Amino acid sequence: MDMRTRRQLLESIRRAHQADTAHAAAHRAHVRAATAAAHARPRIAGDASHQLSADDLAAGQAAYEDLARRERAARAKVCRTFTAARAANSALGTLYAPHARGRGTGGRRRSDVTAGILGELAEAPRDLVLAADAIVVSTSGGKDSVVCADRVVALAAETGCLDKVVMVHADLGEESEWPGVRELAQRQAERWGVRFLVVKAEGGLLGLVEKRGLWPDAARRLCTASLKRDRIAPLFTQIANALGLGEQALILSALGIRAAESPARTRKMPLALDLRASTGRRMVLTWHPILDLTEADVWHRIADAGLEYHPVYDALLPRLSCVFCVLAGRDVLVRAVRLCWALGLDLPARYTALEERIGHRFKQQFSLAEVVAEAARAEAEEGALLWARGDVLRRHVGERAAADYLRRLDAAA
């Protein structure tokens, strides 16, 4: 199957999904409208038997007729969206039929067809890069982001597509993140000579929690959605518009996530169709170029390629996340508090004050105030946190490779 056919099929899948979603929404709206009308009818009958005034009865009757009219309109929409969904799915079946055994989608579910096409595409990343109109690499400035960007940029350079690459950083501000994160992400982009864009998430995590009066958690991870994903999403529209193509643009959205990070990430595929961000004007494929890497692989690549990383890793924090990430474990949070103190940051006091003000614990299992108390005990027993530049590399790639890395980085500075 050639690239053009795959793209046509993916677009047909997107349309079928969109049509099904519209039909499901219409169905839900009809159920609501029908329920409201059904409730209004006995009320009218009851009112009549209680001999209300003619004016009140007329008003009740008018309200009921309005609800009945809405129910009929909602029912008509269900029929329209059903027809549209059937047409979209039938178009997909016709398009896929030459590539399938049997009729329609050959008995395969749409999700299997999608996975098959995306799986083939993911196995040919050079073709993917060549076919893309733009490649957006989301970067937190962290170790996985920089290795992801390194892979994407290497492929783009090999295929003469470096001008398609843009690195995007969601800046949550220094009330949420460690100092120097945005500047680091910018230096990483400048190293390869690719465009660098920043989207600001005003208020950051602190502002979000202040507004909601609740900390996010793993089940309701609103912070990533509202502070990162939703800020970056409008860029896809801007990029597609700037391309000014007479046809649907193909945008690759590269993310530096790894399967080894969590069970949820183990279930991710190397390539996915972003149905939320895709429209008739742009197809957005989410690409996970380093899904297969382990943490050790990442540090080896950083050492080998001389990629700059943030100093918090040397203080043995495993992720360059928000200073107090709601997903972090207790020991990491204790270390983050001690690192704040070592760097002279007042964030522990500000976050615990917020926790007290809103009356909602940072985590169900423990409060941030408890974490700060534990950090204070550790400081009293062990003294202030100490670390040296290159410590994380010494742990992961060995003394000699770390020394070599530092020498090369200093020489390049």
Interface with ligand SF4 (CB under 6 A): 205, 216, 221, 223-224, 227, 321-322, 325-327
List % helix, strand, coil for the chain (3-state, nearest 5): 60, 10, 30
Q: Which is nearer to ligand SF4, 118 or 223 (CB)?
A: 223
Backbone phi, psi, residue 50, to 5°: -90, 5
Q: Which is nearer to ligand SF4, 114 or 140 (CB)?
A: 140
Q: How far is the CB of 320 from ligand SF4 (least distance, A)?
A: 9
Q: How far is the CB of 208 from ligand SF4 (least distance, A)?
A: 9
Q: Which is nearer to ligand SF4, 170 or 385 (CB)?
A: 170
**Separation of first and last alpha carbons in the chain:** 48
User: 3-class secondary structure for 117-141?
Assistant: HHHHHHCCHHHHHHHCCEEEEECCC
Q: How far is the CB of 345 from ligand SF4 (least distance, A)?
A: 16
Cα 330 to Cα 97, 192, 341, 404, 407: the distances in Å are 54, 37, 17, 34, 35
Q: How far is the CB of 322 from ligand SF4 (least distance, A)?
A: 3
Structural contact between residues 272 and 255, judged by C-beta atoms closer than 8 angstroms: no
Any residues with CB less than 8 A from the CB of 163 and at least 6 apart, and which? none
Q: How far is the CB of 180 from ligand SF4 (least distance, A)?
A: 16
Q: Which is nearer to ligand SF4, 326 or 375 (CB)?
A: 326
Q: How far is the CB of 230 from ligand SF4 (least distance, A)?
A: 12
d(CA 311, CA 309): 7
Q: Which is nearer to ligand SF4, 5 or 226 (CB)?
A: 226
Q: Which is nearer to ligand SF4, 103 or 221 (CB)?
A: 221
